[in-house]
């Protein structure tokens, strides 16, 4: 099969996915399964092998990300219930003062985005932001935008979130490089989308707040956990992952210390340790009963079951793409084009994100397509992770979950949603890609 025809069937499969989602309102799990089977058959995978490919794709994502997703939900729940998220917000805003509120809120957004699912981080942060806007007498959208910018970038670029973890695994990237280059990528994106956009966007002060969301009822400061305990929990996985990678580099991968650190710094174990610390510091230490802890854990897991299965179903299409050799076809097409492979990877991911409305699914699916480019063009795997991550965090349409969450939370019009959410996502994504290209030019 020719490379262009092979790519064509993938695009048709994605189109089927979109039609099933939008026109027939079919659940994402069924849409992804049907699209994956269709592409497998059209890519001439033997019919007796298709079910095995489906099982491998679903199992590979479920096996690798299930615990990470579950632990992330539990951490978010305990941070909310204990008031740790409020403590982080209060402390950062107090240190930043009114003049640098947007910078402080971006920092909060990044922390929440790394520690929790985006939807959880958003719903926790927004009532706090409305409180702050009311106290400081600042138009609420001027503070909402930088907070959302931080949360979306933190969630899209950095482990232990599912998308970045899946990309690091698929591309065999060095996690320290992902963090270091990620910081270089995120700073200009935060500045452009979180600082400049709210200042330059016309009419931002007049966007009405028509939602039922009310500013959160704040707990008394003496009832909150300390700032140190609050910030420790979300940072544990990042610290363990970076420490593990550094020790392996310094002491050799075969040393006993490296093996122990590799175990502790794995996404699953680091998230487990962070979860246990959250339960201990934010639950047991604050007088929560064992029944209360069990209820929090159960409630957190129940609320993310749908997210877990949808992300896992995204692995079906990814596996089909890998097994059918479409990735090699893309390499062939890119080899005859003058575009940078990073731009091609970004465009592919952005298109999948726009069509499917799922950032993690877009990243996972794109990973199967663009992975062969890394070896073919001798690219830095960490930079490819960031390019794809930026593509998965781009402008979205009205059927995207993030778009609807933003619109309905504040009760704003479609036009104002595109003007705020749409623009901040597009700026995030494009500036992030430009920084990836700049870093690659410097280190190449």
Q: H/E/C letters for each residue in the chain?
A: CCHHHHHHHHHHHHHHHHHHHHCCCCCHHHHHHHHHHHHHHHCCCCHHHHHHHHHHHHHHHHHHHHHHHHHHHHHHHHHHHHCHHHHHHHHHHHHHCCCCHHHHHHHHHHHHHHHCCHHHHHHHHHHHHHHHHHHHCCCHHHHHHHHHHHHHHHHHHCCCCHHHHHHHHHHCCCHHHHHHHHHHHHHHHHHHHHHHHHHHCCCHHHCCCCCCCCCCCCCCHHHCCCHHHHHHHHHHHHHHHHHHHHHHHHHCCCCHHHHHHHHHCCHHHHHHHHHHHHHHHHCHHHCCCHHHHHHHHHHHHHHCHHHHHHHHHHHHHHHHHHHHCHHHHHHHHHHCCCCCHHHHHHHHHHHHHHHHCCHHHHHHHHHHHHHHHHHHCCCCHHHHHHHHHHHCCCCCCCCCHHHHHHHHHHCCCHHHHHHHHHHHHHHHHHHHHHHHHHHHHHHC
Q: Please state, in angstroms and rounded to a whole number, the distance separating the CA atoms of residues 426 and 254.
A: 43
**Can you tell me the distance from the alpha carbon of 122 to that of 127, in angstroms, rounded to the nearest whole number?**
9
Pairwise CA distance, residues 440 & 444, whole Å: 6
CB atoms within 10 A of CB 91: 18
Residue with tokens 């064509």: 8
Give the integer Cα–Cα distance in Å for 42 and 12. Answer: 10
pLDDT at residue 334, as a whole number: 60
Residues 6+ apart with CB under 8 A from 276: none
At residue 161, the pLDDT reads 84
CB atoms within 10 A of CB 134: 11
pLDDT at res. 331: 60
Number of other CB atoms surrounding residue 95 within 10 Å: 11
pLDDT value of residue 25: 78
The rounded distance, in Å, linking the Cα atoms of 114 and 163 is: 11
In the chain, domain spans: 3-443
Closest CA to 31 of 285, 296, 361: 361
Length of the chain: 444
User: Tens-of-pLDDT digits for all 444 residues of the chain?
Assistant: 676 787 788 888 878 877 887 688 787 788 888 988 998 999 889 999 999 988 988 887 787 778 887 888 888 788 878 888 788 878 877 888 777 888 888 988 998 888 777 877 787 778 778 777 877 788 889 999 999 999 999 999 998 888 898 899 889 999 889 999 999 999 999 999 999 999 999 889 888 887 655 555 666 767 788 888 888 888 888 788 888 878 877 787 788 888 888 888 887 888 899 999 999 999 998 889 999 999 999 988 887 777 778 777 877 877 887 787 776 666 666 656 678 899 989 988 888 787 666 788 788 888 888 888 898 889 999 999 999 999 999 987 665 667 777 887 788 887 898 899 999 999 999 999 999 999 999 997
Cα four-point dihedral sign 296, 118, 368, 10: positive
Q: How many CB atoms lie within 10 A of CB 129?
A: 26
Query: 213 to each of 187, 203, 271, 444, how far by Cα in Å?
Result: 30, 22, 31, 49
Q: Which two tokens stand for residue 395?
A: 């402008």
| Residue 214: per-residue pLDDT | 55
Q: What pLDDT does residue 111 have?
A: 87
d(CA 196, CA 183): 19
């Amino acid at each position: 099969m020719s490379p262009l025809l092979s790519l064509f069937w993938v695009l048709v499969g994605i189109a089927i996915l979109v039609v099933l989602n939008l026109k027939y309102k079919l659940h994402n799990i069924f849409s992804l399964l049907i699209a994956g089977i269709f592409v497998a058959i059209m890519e001439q995978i033997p019919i007796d092998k298709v079910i095995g490919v489906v099982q491998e794709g679903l199992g590979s994502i479920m096996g690798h990300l299930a615990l990470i997703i579950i632990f992330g939900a539990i951490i978010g729940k305990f941070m909310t219930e204990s008031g740790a998220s409020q403590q982080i917000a209060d402390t950062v805003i107090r240190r930043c003062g009114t003049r640098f509120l947007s910078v402080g809120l971006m920092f909060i957004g990044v922390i929440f985005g790394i520690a929790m699912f985006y939807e959880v981080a958003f719903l926790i942060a927004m009532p706090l932001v409305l409180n702050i806007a009311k106290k400081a007498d600042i138009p609420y959208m001027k503070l909402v935008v930088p907070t959302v910018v931080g949360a979306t970038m933190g969630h899209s670029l950095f482990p232990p979130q599912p998308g970045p973890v899946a990309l690091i695994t698929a591309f065999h990237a060095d996690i320290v490089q992902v963090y270091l280059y990620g910081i270089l990528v995120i700073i200009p994106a935060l500045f452009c989308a979180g600082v400049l956009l709210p200042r330059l966007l016309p009419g931002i002060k007049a966007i009405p707040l028509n939602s039922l969301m009310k500013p959160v009822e704040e707990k008394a400061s003496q009832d909150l956990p300390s700032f140190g305990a609050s910030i420790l929990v979300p940072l544990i996985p990042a610290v363990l992952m970076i420490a593990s990678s550094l020790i392996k580099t310094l002491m050799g991968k075969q040393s006993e210390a490296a093996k122990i650190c590799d175990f502790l710094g794995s996404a699953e174990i680091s998230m487990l340790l962070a979860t246990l610390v959250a339960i201990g510091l934010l639950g047991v230490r604050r007088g929560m009963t064992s029944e209360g802890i069990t209820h929090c854990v159960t409630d957190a897991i129940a609320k993310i079951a749908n997210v877990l299965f949808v992300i896992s179903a995204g692995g079906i299409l990814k596996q089909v793409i890998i097994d059918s050799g479409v990735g090699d076809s893309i390499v062939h097409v890119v080899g005859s084009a003058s575009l940078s492979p990073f731009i091609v990877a970004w465009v592919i991911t952005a298109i999948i994100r726009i069509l499917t409305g799922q950032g993690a699914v877009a990243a996972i699916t794109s990973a199967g397509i663009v992975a062969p480019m890394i070896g073919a063009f001798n690219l830095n795997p960490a930079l490819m992770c960031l390019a794809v991550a930026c593509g998965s965090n781009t402008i979205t349409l009205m059927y995207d979950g993030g778009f609807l969450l933003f619109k309905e939370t504040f009760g704003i019009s479609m036009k104002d949603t595109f003007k705020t959410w749409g623009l901040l996502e597009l700026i995030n994504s494009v500036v992030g890609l430009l920084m990836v290209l700049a870093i690659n030019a410097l280190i190449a």
